[in-house]
Structure 1
Amino acid sequence: MQFAYDLVVIGFGKGGKTLAAAATKLGKRVALIEKSKEMYGGTCINVGCIPSKTLLHLATHKKGASGYKEAIEAKNKMVAFLRQKNYEALLDAKVQVIDGTASFKDSHTLMLYHNDSCQEISAHHIVINTGSIPTTPKVPIHSNKVYDSTSLMQLTTLPTHLVVIGGGYIGLEFASMFNLFGRTSNKHTTKVSVLVRGHQFLPKEDPIFSQSIHQSLSQKGVQILNNATLNAIEDDCVHYTQDKQAKTLKADAILLATGRVPNTASLQLERAGIQLGAQQEVLTNEFLVANPHNEGNIYAIGDAKGGAMLTTYASLDDYRIVYDHLFGAKKRTIHNRNVFPEVLYIETPYSHVGLRAHEVKDRAYCTHNLKTAAIPGAMVLEDTTGLLQVLVEEHTECILGASLHCPLSYEYINLFSLAMNQNLSFSTLKDMVYTHPSMMESLNTL
């Protein structure tokens, strides 16, 4: 059967765009479908990691309403630049970028809708790279002051009170960001409150780190309300229950950060023999094939396949698996990939890789702790918040996991990832000669 394309990618995210460009270098006919010109380059560049982390950085030196407005303008300028560069990169790679919304007709055919037109395109292989979308709490919401993580970054006026619904990574990152923008030398121009549904703050983390992060945010002025269940949002009022008592907060901006789900609802996946999981994620095998029991020609990568959301580096590794399965030795799978570090981007960032102490089962290990305040490099950076912890298996000296609540932890954690991937002993890191002063030299002590 003759197909119009060897490969079609639905969505402009990191893994998909990288796969599309790599396939054209092999002489393949490749198209990439994106429903919005405003999303060229994918979620990370336009509405995810890059703009949010840029704003967090700018908040360290741009303060108050005027500083916030300048930061939003700088962020928008940078996003527009990167969006255009990503588009040009695919054109240079001879990838055909098609505007429109896609859905399946069958396992090799897509229906493409753009404006009032509809066309069919066919491909030998298809990659679903449609990302994720925010979820909305199932409570009454009647307000024009409610935002998600995308729309809040378009707000040009610094709110006087931001209420964040959700105490996960996205919610806490925005809480820290707006707290920073509104925290001047002599007062808080922005109040930030975070409603955490459960009684435990950051329950996935070891208590020593959830407590350290809670203390750091609280000392900087972020109000964290545990065991708070949202009941309704009406105009500027957030109605919730805490410890069986009905309460209300007034806010001029309300962020819904209650999770994300794969963006698969409109794809008509059943027509291609593709099954979905409980969270509407595309079910795949170890090679990320979405229809392995049929023709095995459709793949799902990034947020569309479920798992950790908004992790660009996970999407990039998904590309490596699919590329190897399509064009390589078919050896890379989800079971032999490298460890994934995680980062909570707050004013003093928290980063983790591997196992946490409460996750270690039936393995003898040592715990090595060091307070950030003991590191000269942290004193130079004027941030001695937090602590560092490494879990080391006793008889092998292999690193089981590392957790870092300290300045530059998002850079520092990659050293532990490298050591774990290469099976380096903890002594190898401990006995290295590091630059001084630096954060990494703390390994000599840790």
Structure 2
Amino acid sequence: MRFAYDLVVIGFGKGGKTLAAAAAKLGKKVALVEASKEMYGGTCINIGCIPSKALLHLATHKKGASGYKEAIEAKNKMVAFLRQKNYETLLDAKVQVIDGTASFKDSHTLMLYHNDSCQEISADYIVINTGSLPITPQVPIHSDKVYDSTSLMQLSTLPAHLVVVGGGYIGLEFASMFNLFGRTPSKNTTKVSVLVRGATLLPKEDPAFRESIYESLSQKGVKILCGADLKTIEGDCIHYTQSDQEKTLEADAILLAIGRTPNTATLQLERAGIELGAQQEILTNEFLVANAQSEGNIYAIGDVKGGAMLTTYASLDDYRIVYDHLFGAKRRSIHNRNVLPEVLYIETPYSHVGLRAHEIKDKTFDTHSLKTTAIPGARVLEDTTGLLQVLVEEGTERVLGASLHCPLSYEYINLFSLAINQNLSFSTLKEMIYTHPSMMESLNTL
């Protein structure tokens, strides 16, 4: 039986759109289904990484209510431009973009709903790339001041007090951003409070970096409340308990940032024989095949398969695995992918790759540390916050992991990713000749 399409991708995210374009350039008949024209290009471009990091950057020189409004307008203009460019890129690649919400009829057939119409399409292969959605805490909420990470970036008025519920990467990034917007030369016009349910901030990080990040945010005016358990939200009041005491905060904006969940609810996956995990993520094999027990014609990439959320670069590597499995040598898999660096985009960014000290149980290693204050390049950038730490295996001198809380760490960390992936010795990095002044030249000392 010949299906209408060789490949259908559900969702316009990084991995899906890249796969769709690449397959079409091979001469395949390809369609990409997207539920909203406002999401052409995917989460990262429209409501995720790009707009949030653009706002963090704009906050360094646009201050107060007027500066914030200008920044939101600039962000919206940039997002509209990128959304259109992504759409045009797929059209140029001869990919058919179809507006609609998809659900499975069977393993080769999709029902597409758009406005009041419904159409049926079929394909040899289907790739699910529907991303993730913010989690709403299971507490009573009766307020029009509650936002998620998407809606908060549409707020045109700078809040006087923002309360962030959740101390993970998304919550801390927004806390830092709004603190920076409100930090004018004369005073802090925006108060920012963060409710962290756990006893410590960022518990998976090594203690030195938990403390460094906590101190840097606190010194800039972000109030971090650990051990804070949200109970209810009523109007502008957030009720929580801390140390068995009932407490209340008043705010004119409340960000819920307790995590994200795979976007699978409306797909009718059971009709295609696709199994879900405990977090409603699509279970896949090492080649990202979703229904490996049947025909194996359905793949899942990006956030929808669970794991680290909001990682566009991981989604891009998912594309590489699926492309190789469909059209290549079938050698790429999740078992031989490169290490995945992580970045916390706050005013002084924190980046990590590889192992943390508390995770190393079976190797003897040396810890190389350096305070950011010792780096001339950091003084040029007027930010000496934080420290750098590299873990090196004794004997082999292999880099096991790196943690960097310093300016430009999101660029710098890629050098350590390369070192880990290519088994470079720490001496190789140390003996390089680096540009001066720069952040990377600190390796000569570190």
TM bin (shorter chain): over 0.9
> How far 1:200 sits from its partner (Å)?
1.1
Distance 1:202 1:124 in 2: 44
Distance 2:112 2:151 in 1: 27
The one-letter code sitting in structure 1 at the alignment partner of 2:254 is I
Q: Could you say which residue in structure 2 is the equivalent of 1:108?
A: 108
The one-letter code sitting in structure 1 at the alignment partner of 2:188 is H
**1:287 match: secondary structure:** coil
- 5+ residue gaps, structure 1, are none
- 5+ residue gaps, structure 2, are none
The one-letter code sitting in structure 1 at the alignment partner of 2:2 is Q
1:233 has 2:241 as partner: no
Distance 1:165 1:243 in 2: 17
> How far 1:201 sits from its partner (Å)?
1.0
Distance 1:129 1:410 in 2: 26
Distance 1:361 1:95 in 2: 49
Deviation per residue, 1:305-330 (Å, 9 max, x gap): 00000100000000000000000000
**1:119 match: secondary structure:** strand
> How far 1:79 sits from its partner (Å)?
0.1
Deviation per residue, 1:178-209 (Å, 9 max, x gap): 00000011201000000000111110100000
Which residues in structure 2 correspond to 1:269-284 (within 5 Å)?
269-284=269-284
Distance 1:41 1:26 in 2: 21
Which residues in structure 2 correspond to 1:76-115 (within 5 Å)?
76-115=76-115
> How far 1:151 sits from its partner (Å)?
0.1
The one-letter code sitting in structure 2 at the alignment partner of 1:294 is S
Distance 1:196 1:340 in 2: 25
1:306 has 2:306 as partner: yes
Q: Could you say which residue in structure 2 is the equivalent of 1:193?
A: 193
The one-letter code sitting in structure 2 at the alignment partner of 1:20 is A
Q: Could you say which residue in structure 2 is the equivalent of 1:399?
A: 399
Q: Could you say which residue in structure 1 is the equivalent of 2:409?
A: 409
Distance 1:202 1:22 in 2: 38
1:418 has 2:437 as partner: no
Q: Could you say which residue in structure 2 is the equivalent of 1:174?
A: 174
Distance 1:87 1:48 in 2: 18
Distance 1:21 1:63 in 2: 40
Q: Could you say which residue in structure 1 is the equivalent of 2:61?
A: 61
The one-letter code sitting in structure 1 at the alignment partner of 2:167 is G
> How far 1:2 sits from its partner (Å)?
1.0
Structure 1 moving runs of 4+ over 3 Å: none
The one-letter code sitting in structure 1 at the alignment partner of 2:423 is N
**1:277 match: secondary structure:** coil
The one-letter code sitting in structure 1 at the alignment partner of 2:436 is H
Distance 1:69 1:213 in 2: 28
Which residues in structure 2 correspond to 1:71-220 (within 5 Å)?
71-220=71-220
Distance 1:395 1:330 in 2: 35
> How far 1:210 sits from its partner (Å)?
0.3
Q: Could you say which residue in structure 2 is the equivalent of 1:371?
A: 371
> How far 1:424 sits from its partner (Å)?
0.6
**1:174 match: secondary structure:** helix
**1:51 match: secondary structure:** helix
Distance 2:8 2:363 in 1: 46
> How far 1:362 sits from its partner (Å)?
1.4
Deviation per residue, 1:98-117 (Å, 9 max, x gap): 00000000000000000001
The one-letter code sitting in structure 2 at the alignment partner of 1:34 is E
**1:291 match: secondary structure:** coil
Q: Could you say which residue in structure 1 is the equivalent of 2:383?
A: 383
Distance 2:195 2:147 in 1: 15
The one-letter code sitting in structure 1 at the alignment partner of 2:164 is V
Distance 1:297 1:398 in 2: 40
**2:26 match: secondary structure:** coil
Q: Could you say which residue in structure 2 is the equivalent of 1:445?
A: 445
Residue correspondences, number: 446
TM-score, normalised by the number of residues in structure 2: 1.00
Deviation per residue, 1:256-281 (Å, 9 max, x gap): 00100000000000000100001000
Distance 2:343 2:44 in 1: 15
Distance 2:51 2:294 in 1: 40
Distance 1:293 1:229 in 2: 42
Distance 1:280 1:362 in 2: 33
1:70 has 2:70 as partner: yes
Distance 1:41 1:347 in 2: 27
The one-letter code sitting in structure 2 at the alignment partner of 1:102 is A
Distance 2:198 2:95 in 1: 47
Distance 1:62 1:207 in 2: 33
Q: Could you say which residue in structure 1 is the equivalent of 2:329?
A: 329
1:319 has 2:319 as partner: yes
The one-letter code sitting in structure 2 at the alignment partner of 1:6 is D
Distance 2:17 2:298 in 1: 16
Distance 1:204 1:160 in 2: 31
Q: RMSD of the alignment, in Å?
A: 0.3
Distance 1:54 1:231 in 2: 33
The one-letter code sitting in structure 2 at the alignment partner of 1:377 is G
**1:214 match: secondary structure:** helix
**1:239 match: secondary structure:** strand
**2:74 match: secondary structure:** helix
> How far 1:72 sits from its partner (Å)?
0.1
The one-letter code sitting in structure 2 at the alignment partner of 1:379 is R
Distance 1:361 1:298 in 2: 38
Q: Could you say which residue in structure 2 is the equivalent of 1:4?
A: 4
TM-score, normalised by the number of residues in structure 1: 1.00
